[in-house]
Amino acid sequence: MAGTTKKSFGTAPVFFTAIATILGAILFLRFGFAVGTLGFWGVIGVILLGHMVTIPTALAISEIATNKRVEGGGEYFIISRSFGMNIGATIGFALFISQAISVAFYIIAFTETFEFLFNWVSSRFEFTLPRQVISIPAMIGLSVLILKKGASVGMKTLYFVVAILLISLLLFFLGSTEYATTNTFSLTSVEKGDMGQFFLVFAIIFPAFTGMTAGVGLSGDLKKPGKSIPIGTILATVTGMIVYFFIVYKLTASASLETLKDPSKQLAMADIALAGGFIIPLGLAASTFSSAIGSIIVAPRTLQALAGDASFPSKRINRFIHRGRGETNEPFNATLVTVVIAMVFVIIGDVNKIAGIISMFFMVTYGSLCLISFLHHFGSAPSYRPSFRSRWYISLVGFVASVWVMFKIDTWFAMAAIAIMVLLYLYINNYHKNRKGLVSIFTNALFQLNRSLQVYLQQTRKSRGNNEWRPSAICISRDSFRRDKAFQLLNWISYKYGFGTYIHLIEDYYSHSSSQKSSQELDKLIRNFKGKGSHVYVDTMISPSYTSAVAQSIQLPGISGMENNMVIFEFDRGAPDNLQEIVENFALVNAGNFDVCIFGSSERTINFKNGIHVWIRSNDYENSHLMILLSFIIQGHPAWKRSEITIFDVCKKEQEEETRKNLEHLVQTGRLPITSKNIQVISEKPDLNARALIREHSAHAGLTIIGFHAGLLKHEGPKIFQGYDEVGNILFVNSHSQKEID
């Protein structure tokens, strides 16, 4: 549909839609009160703080709009194509509701033009005429105008009312008062207001700043959105800020603070302007009605774009709302929905409550736009090549300011708005499960962050000295699809305290076909391991032999930024076909100063409640601390939550008491979760070897940890891993150096 839609607007509609909303109802109705409450410098502070949000947002919109082809939906389109369709729809719905309610807000404010009528009726008939007598017919008239004539007539009307608005502002600046002629105004000696009311006043007048993105909603009707959006939006934002400064100056110079904050002087500008009794109410009428026109043009286009992306759970609803009319695809049905929502709030008629809702959800939108821009800068994707560029720190300031101001205005309201957004996202994500919630923008940012951290860690490696030890393990296996016990072990180690990289070996020469196979098997492994709470980085490696694969793997950088310091081999204890080649490659790994763990897996189901048994023998001094640390690290995984660690130390009879004291001291000073009753010191017996003791005490253990030595492995080979038939899963540990437990 978008391809056949006629684009009819240029830059002027963007500028005038935005400026008509910026110089709107709040300017005429609340700026006098703001100056009277805070004084000149206080309101200047409000304007500057407000533009700390709006200027970065205007620059962010301009930047993003010149990078991608922007279609219908304005801000919604930009957010959804950057953050993903589901998050885009979540913010898009909030944006649309804010825009639709804005129509009601401006129509209600429009009724203040007829203050003289309400006062006359009240004094003449002693009857308070409800504001809805004016607001409802005005809402109906505006609705009929837009539904029958569309955005084009809205734009023609917009130009007319903006002209009236400018004339009224000009006459305001040309006007004078007795106060102005009798008091010398100086920026250094202006009256000070009550700065304790700063954020109260900010909340009241902030809706005036929200108009700067109004023109972006016309994106689907623009001939060159990449040109019109930046120029129109930035020009309107800067123009509005400059006009605000001069109006605050004029108000301060023309009336006392007491006069300006008098509730009966709501239209204080009328007492200052030439022919103010006529021109200021007319300007208020023009500003509010033009703002209402701008909002009623923009809101349906946001809704139409949401429906075009199938954001509603019903296909019928999406088709109905997306259906347009005429060659410009005028959003007739979406306008009907907007009119109904606006009419409900017009009937309610509470300006202050409506302003609060508008401010909060616009803040969410502005913050999102600034965050998108910041992440694009930080991610540095080659595809991000906007012809207009902001700066990352400006976007970051806009995002932080948006969030901060939300909570300063009303903490509970801000929390409620965020909670609503989260619930809405969860609902949308539930019925659009096939659409990704986040897209490449976050991935690119994470890539850049990871790169920076890796480089930093490498550059500071020599200056870090001897850091506290923690495992950064790498496991090589060709049997990933036959058994997953080795992956489980690596996942236990990596869950909380360590880091793990699992390499699936494909024994082959590198070629196009083996590369395709590698990619397919990696995808399969990721799917298989995804549902197991994996904290392990998984990869595949194509290598012609097991030895070459080991040599390549131990040279890989650690996924955490740490150097890998541990290698895990695995074999099936029921069919140890690969045990011999593990033994043959031990020397290769040992030459790289790695700790080596050889995991003998069993077909027996792991009974986690039976705990982890650590066996320390008289020749296991260097291995002992690593074995104990590994038991503690593995126990940190939720699967081992209810398990206990039991330490068995086999020593000479005369060393029993000393060994127990040493172990208890080690456990106590090392703050290890091992009780005294779980430390068992066993005397060596000439008629009972260590294997028999392990079989006797650890036959039902969930995991048994046993030490081994390089020298013994060299002489006995695979035999040192045999003779434990009754025991289940065994982790054989060789520590390259003594670890500290402190």
Domain pair 469-592 / 604-742, same fold: yes
pLDDT band at 133; cut points 50, 70, 90: confident
Q: What is the reported pLDDT for 356? A: 64
Q: Which of 9-23, 171-185, 203-217, 263-277 has the lowest mean pLDDT?
A: 203-217
**Domains of the chain: which residue ranges?**
2-149+202-242+291-431, 469-592, 604-742
The pLDDT value recorded for residue 2 is 42
| Residue 187 pLDDT grade (very low, low, confident, very high; cuts 50, 70, 90) | confident
First to last CA, the chain: 68
pLDDT tens for each residue of 405-450: 888 888 888 888 788 888 888 888 787 777 665 555 666 666 677 7
Higher pLDDT, 452 or 509: 509
Q: Which of 444, 371, 318, 429 is nearest to 85 (CA)?
A: 429
Average pLDDT, the chain: 83
Place of tokens 């130009």: 159
The pLDDT of residue 458 is: 61
Task: Identify whether the C-beta of residue 192 lies closer than 8 Å to the C-beta of residue 39.
Answer: yes
CA distances to 242, 244, 504, 602 from 539, rounded to whole Å, are: 57, 59, 6, 24
Q: pLDDT (tens digit, 9 = 90+) per residue, 32-58? A: 888 888 988 999 999 999 899 888 988
* Cβ-Cβ contacts under 8 Å for 602 (sequence gap 6 or more): 485, 573, 574, 727, 728, 729, 730
Cα 145 from Cα 152, distance rounded (Å): 11
| 550-578 mean pLDDT | 88
Ranges 313-327, 477-491, 567-581, 598-612: which has the least confidence: 313-327
Write down the pLDDT at residue 1. 41
| Count of positions (residues) in the chain | 742
Q: What percent of the chain has pLDDT over 70?
A: 88
**pLDDT exceeds cutoff 80 at 354:** no
The region of weakest confidence among 61-75, 154-168, 272-286 is 61-75
Other Cβ atoms within 10 Å of 263 Cβ, number: 6
**Mean pLDDT of the 692-707 span:** 93
DSSP state of 73: T
Residue 541 pLDDT level (bands cut at 50, 70, 90): very high
Fold for the domain defined by 604-742 = Rossmann fold (3.40.50)
Q: Give 710-733 as a 3 state SS string.
A: HHHHHHHHHHHHCCCCCCCCEEEE
Q: How confident is the model at residue 147 (pLDDT cuts 50, 70, 90)?
A: confident
Specify the higher pLDDT residue, 707 or 11: 707
Q: Which residue has the higher pLDDT, 153 or 502?
A: 502
**Enclosing H/E stretch for 140:** helix 132-174
58 phi and psi, to 5 degrees? -60, -40
Confidence check: pLDDT of 312 > 80 = yes
Tell me the sheet residues that pair with 614. 647, 705
Please report which confidence band the pLDDT of residue 3 belongs to, taking 50, 70 and 90 as the band edges: very low
Name 351's Cβ contacts closer than 8 Å, sequence gap at least 6.
Answer: 105, 108, 109
The residues that bridge with 502 in the sheet, in sequence order, are: 475, 538
User: What is the pTM assigned to this prediction?
Assistant: 0.66
Superfamily of domain 469-592: HUPs (3.40.50.620)
pLDDT value at residue 4: 46
Structure tokens at 265: 């002087």
pLDDT exceeds 50 at position 519 = yes
Written as six digits, the tokens of 307 are 């429906």
Task: Average the pLDDT over 273-277 and give the result.
Answer: 86
Distance CA 412, CA 222 (A): 39
Q: What is the DSSP string of 523-538?
A: HHHHHHHHTTT--SEE
How is residue 329 annotated by DSSP?
Answer: T
Q: Which residue has the higher pLDDT, 470 or 513?
A: 513
Q: What is the mean pLDDT of the segment spanning 728-734? A: 95
Among 20, 29, 543, residue whose Cα is nearest residue 297: 20
Distance (Å, whole) CA 194 – CA 197: 6
Helices marked H in 196-224 — which ranges? 198-205
Which of the residue ranges 50-64, 221-235, 262-276, 593-607 has the most confident prediction, judged by mean pLDDT? 593-607
Dihedral sign for Cα atoms in the order 316, 319, 324, 325: negative
Residues 6+ apart with CB under 8 A from 565: 469, 471, 472, 473, 593, 594, 595
How far, in Å, CA of 402 to CA of 405, rounded?
A: 5
What is the pLDDT averaged over residues 650-666?
Answer: 86
The domain 2-149+202-242+291-431 belongs to what CATH superfamily?
Answer: Amino acid/polyamine transporter I (1.20.1740.10)
- Amino acid at position 202, single letter: F
pLDDT of 171 over the 50 cut:
yes
Instruction: Please write the tens of the pLDDT for every residue from 110-123.
Output: 887 787 787 788 88
For position 699, what pLDDT does the model report? 92
Q: Are 212 and 53 in contact (CB under 8 A)?
A: no
pLDDT at site 246: 93
Contact (CB, 8 A) for 81 and 69: no
Check residue 579 and give its pLDDT.
92
Higher pLDDT, 455 or 707: 707
